[in-house]
Amino acid sequence: MRSSLQANNAANQSLTDETLQSVLLLDLYEKMAYQPHPESEFPGSWLSHVQGALSIVRSRPTAGFSNPTTQQLATRTVIALTLSCGAAGIPIPEALIGLYNDLDSYVRGAKWTFIGLLISLINLRGDMNNGKLESTDIVQRARDLYEELSHAEGKIPRSWWPQRRDTSEAVVFGRYYDVYPGHYATQVFNAYRIMRLDVCSIIQKFDPSSEVAETITEVAQAILRRCASIHSSTCQVSEYTSLFTIADIGVLRCIDSIVCSFTKYSRSCNARLDTADFGVYGR
């Protein structure tokens, strides 16, 4: 009898995992299929499937997070719904925050820390849009979040940091380029800096007399320096393969990201984060 129950539980667990995987796949498909269209045309589609995924995960015991498959699916649910809420411009549901906190003792790494900070930023934006905060409260929360972002970025492993390569080649933008250990590391640095720009824009809007303008310039320059990375734009075939094209495209992409961050970070970067390879350096 015990063996039969265990077999039945294992079968139900497998079925639930398959259902959750299917729901997350449908959510990703919708984001890809409707990406070119204004959000107002499909307000429900941003959240419908991923909210169903959250319900499935929350219906299961938290002890199951020790299972690698269950943990990964729950983590992807947190990431997907966080990005969807950011894209829709709505606060993070309490159930999702609870799931993030439950997973916090199981999941570690730069990605997970970043998602937690992104949740804070989306909630700050949501409270601002709903008129829940006075300007002084907005500035204080934004400053606290900026300090958290700076601290988290400083804790990124040194092995992820780029190595500067100087060159005298005239076709190389800025006469230097940065080499990262992988594409994921480049994405992590850019994501932190773009989010810091958004936080700076909030502070500057509600406290124009602050010194944040200088910080914005510094962070923007740091992002532009990241555009010198070969790995962020293409696969490196040789040190000087098409460097002019790489630099030119990279700068345009960075400028576009900076402009988008001043309008709405989470919506503009939704597709970038949704397609990021979180599995390479994620732990």
What digits encode the pLDDT tens for the residues 140-157? 999 999 999 999 988 998
At residue 271, the pLDDT reads 40
**Closest by Cα among 234, 145, 231 to 188:** 231
Does one domain contain both 141 and 55? Answer: no
Indicate whether 123 belongs to any domain: yes
| Residue at a domain's end among 63, 91, 106 | 106
In a domain, 96, yes or no: yes
Whether residue 2 lies inside any domain: the answer is yes
Tell me the chain's radius of gyration from C-alpha atoms: 21
Same domain membership, residue 138 and residue 93: no
Query: Rounded mean pLDDT of 91-112?
Result: 91
In a domain, 40, yes or no: no
> What is the distance between the alpha carbons of residues 14 and 177, in angstroms, rounded to a whole number?
47
- Cβ atoms of residues 72 and 78 within 8 Å: no
Q: Is residue 151 part of a domain?
A: yes
What number of other Cβ atoms are within 10 A of residue 105's Cβ?
A: 10
Q: How confident is the model at residue 206 (pLDDT cuts 50, 70, 90)?
A: confident
Domain match, 148 and 15 both: no
Residue recorded with tokens 């601002």? 128
Asked if the structure places residue 37 within a domain, the reply is: no
Q: Domain of 198?
A: 108-229+247-264
Do 129 and 224 fall within a single domain? yes
The beta-strand segments (E) located in the chain are 163-166, 176-179
Same domain, yes or no: 99 and 196? no
The pLDDT of residue 207 is above 90: no
**Among candidate residues 182, 103, 195, the one with its CA nearest the CA of residue 148:** 195
Q: Are residues 122 and 200 in the same domain?
A: yes
Same domain, 210 and 253: yes
pLDDT of residue 15: 54
Same domain? For 3 and 131 the reply is no
Residue 269 lies in a domain: no
Phi first, then psi: give them for residue 277, nearest 5 degrees: -85, 90
Looking at per-residue pLDDT, the higher value among 238 and 78 belongs to: 78
Claim to verify: residue 136 and residue 73 sit in the same structural domain: no
* 39 assigned to some structural domain: no
pTM: 0.70
Q: Are residues 130 and 253 in the same domain?
A: yes
pLDDT at 230: 45
- Give the pLDDT score at 52: 87
Phi/psi at 199 (5° precision):
-65, -40
The model's pLDDT over 45-86, given as tens digits with 9 standing for 90+, comes to 667 888 888 989 988 888 888 889 889 999 999 998 898 888
CA distance 225 to 210: 25
Number of domains in the chain: 2
